[in-house]
Amino acid sequence: MSLSGSASSSESALRVVWVYPDLLSTYGDRGNMLVVERRALQRGVRVERVEVRSDQPVPVSGDIYLIGGGEDRPQRLAAERLRADRGLVRAAHGGAVVLSVCAGFQILGHEFVNDLGEREAGLGLLDVVSVRGTGQRCVGDVLADADESLGLPVLTGFENHQGVTRLGSGVRPLGHVRAGFGNGENSGVEGAWQGDIFGTYLHGPVLARNPLLADVLLKRAWNVADLAPVDDRWYEELRSERIAAVGRPS
């Protein structure tokens, strides 16, 4: 099944939920929402954008949920509120697609280390555990070969984190690192995914640098195998520039 660019405007809108922009939205992660919205609109599908602040309940009726990065204290506050609210968990268990970045990635796991140096419970949506790294901070551009089952070209993004995320048996790496640190501790991998839940340390924003990853989210939300092609020239210029920059001497 494919979704053409002439999809009827009478179809129900794609509901994209941006979770806690007041706490988790660093390094341009808000751009992920704009890319998903744009690529749906290019295919003739209406989009309902829902921005949920941390003092509001997370709706369970979204199709795609996006959660970004943030500093240590906002990350702890976000985790506390998401655990109490349970809306994101219920939505994910109900089949929604979720993309999480950096601090958001750690929150979706079983636990991470908070700003107080204590272990903080996550949401358990990804079989990962994050700890505080003791070595060099992970900063800079990343290139990673995407998990072959996702059918994506090389992933590109910018990382800035001290965390180390270890994958359990229930997840697969989003990619295998060519350049950069990825999940840290010389793991050789970047991010994680299981089912329709995705996590990554890549900013940039990650979907602007990797528009076909946005299409993976859309295909899963719409339950289709293929999407009509769209004009990717500006994305490809950005991708080409950043991929080439990794190979240049600093």
Q: Which residues are catalytic?
A: 102, 203
Residue 101 · residue 69 · CB < 8 Å: yes
Is 180:209 a contact under the CB 8 Å cutoff? Answer: no
Dihedral (CA of 216, 22, 88, 100) sign: positive
Give the sign of the dihedral formed by CA 201, CA 203, CA 205, CA 208. negative
DSSP assignment of 176-216, as one string? EEEES-TTSTT--EE-EEETTEEEE--BTTHHHH-HHHHHH
Query: Under a CB-based contact definition with an 8 Å cutoff, are residues 191 and 202 in contact?
Result: yes
Q: How many CA atoms lie within 13 A of 228 on its CB side?
A: 13
Strand 138-146, strand 175-179: pairing: antiparallel
Is there a cis peptide before residue 173, judged by omega within 30 degrees of 0?
no
Residue for token digits 């910018």? 158
